[in-house]
Structure 1
């Protein structure tokens, strides 16, 4: 099967190869227009999805951190309660001391427990301040999350509308593009795709228009134009590397060439009439 396809490709004339390339370019350009219609929407949707995922992670992390702060505050409150109980116990023992050494030792323990209470209260205040800051950040993150989800739904809706409108056309064009690509030999197809990927407007095959390349608009020498019109070999622009064809290559019935010739003759007649009037 592959051998038969290769044989058919080899049987094609240069003119037929150029015609197939031109048709492929025309179809791929239509696909590009559909993709342009979508604009930056696919990227915007992806960016919003990434940002929403980041916000979800941040909100979950804040929930964990708030939980840890609450747990820490509860532990410190328990430590304060234990210290208060110790102070009460040591204070009662002061009434039964037998010497100054025991009195001093108990007094130091009471002082130590009071300092411990002050330290734990300070840490609780710090935790409460950190909690308030994280709660504010949580509210801000939630608000931003809701806004981004709303934006995402709108962008997705807009993108889906465009996709629904163009899906059938794009699918049909894609099928045609693949069918045409199968008729072009691999080396030529690879060159076509390489040129297309490097060209800003995606044009790899262009016509010669007004003696210039239709891609970069540099002038084409007359002899080279004759070679292009002969359709005997594949010629590329020496400036931009695009494949050059004459504008009538797919004018199978000659109607376009005939119309252009009539327009040229009409323009020459009008020019002649203007010259005669000026001479009079």
Structure 2
């Protein structure tokens, strides 16, 4: 590009010199001076001026093109240098570093995916509990007597009807659970945390297995009826207390409203 600029300047100097030399030679020609020298000199000067302006425009155009090309070359060189630096940084990384970085990125993506799924599950469960709350609102506006009447009409042919007649407090407890705004929705929230629900089921299964083992340990041949009944009551009481404790440990918060209604009804 610099050679091209020098060549353009060289051409400009040659043309300017020729025009100047030609003008001087023409002005010194006797024949020209004899016939109206002022008009002819003015015409020659105008012609030279036009040629010079054309040359200057061409020179400016070429100069702008040279500067534009130089800027493009500079940008290309700068981009190439940046690329070389990045490639050098990648080459300097050891294979173990590359694997470690890829591992960290995979772990971060897995955590992000798990957090997103848990958030979606919580929203779905929250919507389910809220749906139950909304569904119970019309029934909660009724009185206990009206709910008892509807329950009596709806369970006349039900298999549980004999138990309802024998234990009327069970029916009353069901009605009060419906009337309470927190009892049933709170119980529904048990399904929100699937992981805790799985843990609860596993522990309860362990208590069943433990109950069979305890039964075999406490079983003895030749015991009297009273002693066998005594050990039976101890085993049943212990296992019941153990299971109630497990339920309380996992879901005390969710079952507290229903427990309050139970206490109000039966105690």
Answer 1 or 2: which has greater strand percent: 1
Give TM-score, length-normalised by structure 1. 0.32
- Flag the structure with higher helix content: 2
- Normalising by the residue count of structure 2, what TM-score does the alignment of the two structures yield? 0.33
Higher relative contact order (CA 8 A, sep 6+): 1
Q: Which has the higher Rg, Structure 1 or Structure 2?
A: 2
